[in-house]
């Protein structure tokens, strides 16, 4: 039997490539984190990490264990949540980034509210940077959003690729600066698009700004310009640009769950588990 406690420690290290970061997030001594890994390695009979003074890397056996570990922990959490059911009480203030709302997230929230009717649930939709600021200010308990490149905050839910999208795949690029449809600052996709174009030496101009995804989608559908967006969350009516358009690569984007210091443990854990389970289901499909 694989101990879920050991698997949780393993996943924290695997997702952050850091024993010290796993120690901080789990509120454990680093020696305890190392002990968990040693016990797990002994249990499965394989080495999971290769460590030196500067880096941590997973072995092939470690990479194979990641998905098994996630499934075991999520199944355990779902069973716990199911039998806890309506016993969860309190207030849960949840925030999600704008581009997640048209996806499967509303279904997860509807199921959560139905299973936990005694939880006073508040939902905020905003830009990822705004959500992080509100979380830090104590106005949110948990946030599901994108994080800046190089940021290690939060628990990784999935990685995706930022792509250029337009009204159609073979969008005719006009002469002159590239017209952009972007969120108002601060916005991670806006910063990524501008940085990529600047690095490539490609001139650009802002054709449309909006604080809502509906506004950006309408402008992009109308052919006003291009938008940088998560590949898995491209809105209906828009398409990823075909290759050879002369536009720079936008790199990856990471979606994470962040919890506030005073987040209600049971309700926050139940919602986090539900989001993770659905995200992995979507990724596998």
The whole-model pTM stands at 0.69
Q: Is the confidence at residue 227, as pLDDT, over 60?
A: yes
Q: 161 is written with which tokens?
A: 């690729």
Q: Where are the domains of the chain?
A: 4-81, 87-158+254-284, 160-252
- 8 Å CB contact between 158 and 210: no
Answer whether CATH 3.30.70.1560 is correct for domain 160-252: no
CA distance 211 to 96: 14
Residues 91-112 have a mean pLDDT of 93
pLDDT tens per residue across span 56-69 = 888 999 999 998 89
pLDDT at 86 over 60: no
Dump pLDDT digits (tens) for 168-191.
Answer: 887 877 788 999 999 999 899 999
Distance CA(63)–CA(141), nearest Å, equals 31
Residue 34 banded pLDDT, cuts 50, 70, 90: very high
Q: Which residues of 81-118 are buried (b: 16+ CB within 10 A; e: fewer)?
A: beeeeeebebebbbbbbbbbbebebeebbeebeebbee
Is it the case that residue 148 has pLDDT exceeding 90? no
Residue 42, pLDDT score: 93
- Position 87 confidence tier, pLDDT thresholds 50, 70, 90: low
Phi, psi of 85 (to 5 degrees): 45, -130
Least confident of 65-69, 151-155, 230-234: 151-155
pLDDT at 67: 87
- Residue 248, pLDDT score: 93
274: nearest Cα among 79, 25, 9, 3? 79
Q: What mean pLDDT do residues 147-169 have?
A: 87
Hey, do 87-158+254-284 and 160-252 end up sharing a CATH topology, with the first three levels equal?
yes
The CATH T-level fold of domain 87-158+254-284 is: D-Maltodextrin-Binding Protein; domain 2 (3.40.190)
Residues 25-34 have a mean pLDDT of 88
277 half-sphere exposure, CB direction, 13 A CA radius: 21
The tokens for 24 are 């901080």
Question: In CATH, what number does 4-81 get?
Answer: 1.10.10.10
Least confident span in 228-232, 246-250, 269-273: 269-273
């Amino acid at each position: 039997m694989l101990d879920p406690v050991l698997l949780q420690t393993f996943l924290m290290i695997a997702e952050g490539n850091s024993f010290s970061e796993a120690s901080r997030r789990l509120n454990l001594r680093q020696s305890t984190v190392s002990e968990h890994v040693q016990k797990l390695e002994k249990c499965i009979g394989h080495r999971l990490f290769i460590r030196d003074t500067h880096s941590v890397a997973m072995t092939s056996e470690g990479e194979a264990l990641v998905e098994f570990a996630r499934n075991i922990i999520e199944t355990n959490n779902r069973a716990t949540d199911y039998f806890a059911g309506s016993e969860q009480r309190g207030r849960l203030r949840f925030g999600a980034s704008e581009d997640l709302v048209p996806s499967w997230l509303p279904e997860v929230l509807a199921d959560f509210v139905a299973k936990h009717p005694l939880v006073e649930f508040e939902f905020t939709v905003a830009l990822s940077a705004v959500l992080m600021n509100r979380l830090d200010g104590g106005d949110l308990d948990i946030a599901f959003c994108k994080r800046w490149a190089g940021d290690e905050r939060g628990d990784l839910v999935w990685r995706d690729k930022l792509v250029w999208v337009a009204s159609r795949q073979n969008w005719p690029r006009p002469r002159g600066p590239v017209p952009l449809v972007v969120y108002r600052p601060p916005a991670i996709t806006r910063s990524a698009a501008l940085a990529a174009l600047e690095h490539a030496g490609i001139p650009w101009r802002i054709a449309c700004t909006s604080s809502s995804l509906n506004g950006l989608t309408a402008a992009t559908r109308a052919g006003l310009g291009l938008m940088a967006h998560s590949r898995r969350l491209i809105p209906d009516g828009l398409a990823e640009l075909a290759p050879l358009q002369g536009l720079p690569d936008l790199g990856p984007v990471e979606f994470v769950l962040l919890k506030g210091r005073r987040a209600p443990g049971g309700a926050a854990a139940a919602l986090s588990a539900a989001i993770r389970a659905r995200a992995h289901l979507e990724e596998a499909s």
